[in-house]
Structure 1
Amino acid sequence: MAAPVRFLALVFPNVTQLDLTGPAQFFSAPADATVDLAWKTRDPVVTDAGFAIVPTTDLADAPQADVLMIPGGQGVFDLLDDPETLDFVRRQAAGARFVTSVCTGAFLLGAAGLLVGKRATTHWNSHALLGLLGAIPEQARVVRDGNIITGGGVTAGLDFALTVLAEVFDEQTARAVQLGYEYDPAPPFDAGTPSRPEADQAQVQHTIATRAALREPVVRRAAAALAEVSA
């Protein structure tokens, strides 16, 4: 009997929980799949929603992933210069069939040097910064470039998860998961991205500016460190 497909997700303080738990829920559905959550310790990790998630393994003992997933959230920017986490991501990526991210989790892949020359996406509020880490930013819900699969902001993680399931298993499996969880989005408003007609453009511009002020210095430091390693 074949070994189950192992999905391994990083969990960290101030993670956006839906980036993590949405895809993890979908990934756990196939009978021949396992999902592990890894962090530095197995102590509960507080998410940006205020509640905690308990890791199933620590970074040192984490099993090799078939699919490595990095979720996003403001907490990811605290890890862009964290050697232990970057080493973990690189080590896992080297043996993984697919290396993936949701939302701003793409920045950790970028800081680890895994997006250089790769098409990738992230949340619209920081999309323009992704190129600083050598990525080719692409506006889409899900972007695949080789074995790198990146999802856009937060709820795009569900589309991302179905895309990954179709690649790892097959489209029939992905459709069964979609049906089982009644994933049939029909939002009451048409304001889900900056390009939608009901999106508040003042909110868009304010959010992009504030996120850039908060995140760009961190991303530039990560880019400089990456350049030193590559030199």
Structure 2
Amino acid sequence: MQIAIVLYEGFTALDAIGPYQTLSPLPDAETVFVAENPGPVSDDSGTLTVVAKKALTEVPRPDLVVVPGGPPENVGRQMRNEAMLGWLRAADATSTWTTSVCTGSLLLAAAGLLTGRRATTHWLSLESLKEFGAEPTGERVVFAGKYVTAAGVSSGIDMGLTLAGRIAGGTYAQGIQLMTEYDPQPPYDAGSPEKAPAELVAKFRNGG
């Protein structure tokens, strides 16, 4: 099973690395980082670089596609990048699973892959999904047939584990969870707009 994790300038690192950590241990998995052009790709902080070993065109038929998100301006550039959108459409035509984390779902939506489907994304971008005919939901991980979307950033870990369970069984996925010691015990209960202090939610809705 070939897993293609898509990179582009300004992606959010954990969006890509969370699924990488939870999906790459699957049996017979070949995980490859891909980008429009092979080589180093900087994340949204500009301080972390991940190397794309192959160009998009070199990986035409992956079994599983993972599209990470990023800040609006970076994702917006890719939503206008026909090389990216065209590859997503072509890869989706033969993929077993097409997935995204955070605002990566906006790329899938811009490619026309989420029209009429339930999907999630970062809470600040949920309304944007409607513009492309998707049905936004605030759930953390959403399955809509072979399309799997995860909410903001850290939810990519949950998505990867859930999908690993679908592919290899619950016991195997639990083994991945155990070996990564994924046992969240956050110091604050502010991980969603429903739980966070109202003033924080308002601050970020107003641009931070």
- After TM superposition, the score normalised by the length of structure 1 is 0.85
4+ residue stretches of structure 1 with deviation over 3 A?
Answer: none
Instruction: Return the alpha-carbon distance in structure 1 between the equivalents of residues 172 and 53 of structure 2.
Output: 25
Report the Cα offset of residue 172 of structure 1: 1.5
Report the Cα offset of residue 63 of structure 1: 4.5
1:143 paired to 2:171: no
Whether contact under 8 Å (2:39, 2:53) holds in the other structure is: no
Instruction: Return the alpha-carbon distance in structure 2 between the equivalents of residues 141 and 58 of structure 1.
Output: 30
Structure with higher helix content: 1
1:91 paired to 2:107: no
Whether contact under 8 Å (2:98, 2:147) holds in the other structure is: yes
1:72 paired to 2:64: no
- Aligned twin of 1:28: 24
Instruction: Return the alpha-carbon distance in structure 2 between the equivalents of residues 85 and 71 of structure 1.
Output: 13
Aligned with 1:129: secondary structure? helix
- Aligned twin of 1:82: 81
- Deviation string for 1:141-165 (max 9, x for gaps)? 1001111100000001110001111
- Aligned twin of 2:13: 17
Instruction: Return the alpha-carbon distance in structure 1 between the equivalents of residues 60 and 178 of structure 2.
Output: 30
Whether contact under 8 Å (2:6, 2:68) holds in the other structure is: yes
Whether contact under 8 Å (1:126, 1:208) holds in the other structure is: no
Stretches of structure 2 that go unaligned for 5 or more consecutive residues are: none
- Deviation string for 1:2-43 (max 9, x for gaps)? xxx211111010000000011101111134211111111112
Instruction: Return the alpha-carbon distance in structure 2 between the equivalents of residues 10 and 16 of structure 1.
Output: 11
Whether contact under 8 Å (1:101, 1:151) holds in the other structure is: yes
Instruction: Return the alpha-carbon distance in structure 1 between the equivalents of residues 134 and 60 of structure 2.
Output: 28
Question: Percent of counterpart pairs with the same letter?
Answer: 36
1:155 paired to 2:154: yes
Aligned with 1:12: secondary structure? coil
Q: Which has the larger radius of gyration?
A: 1
61-70 or 110-119, which moves further after superposition?
61-70
Aligned with 1:60: secondary structure? helix
Stretches of structure 1 that go unaligned for 5 or more consecutive residues are: 212-231
Instruction: Return the alpha-carbon distance in structure 2 between the equivalents of residues 175 and 63 of structure 1.
Output: 31
Q: RMSD value over aligned CA atoms?
A: 1.3
- Deviation string for 1:112-146 (max 9, x for gaps)? 00010000000111112211111000111100111
- After TM superposition, the score normalised by the length of structure 2 is 0.94
**One-letter amino acid matched to 1:140:** E
Report the Cα offset of residue 210 of structure 1: 2.7
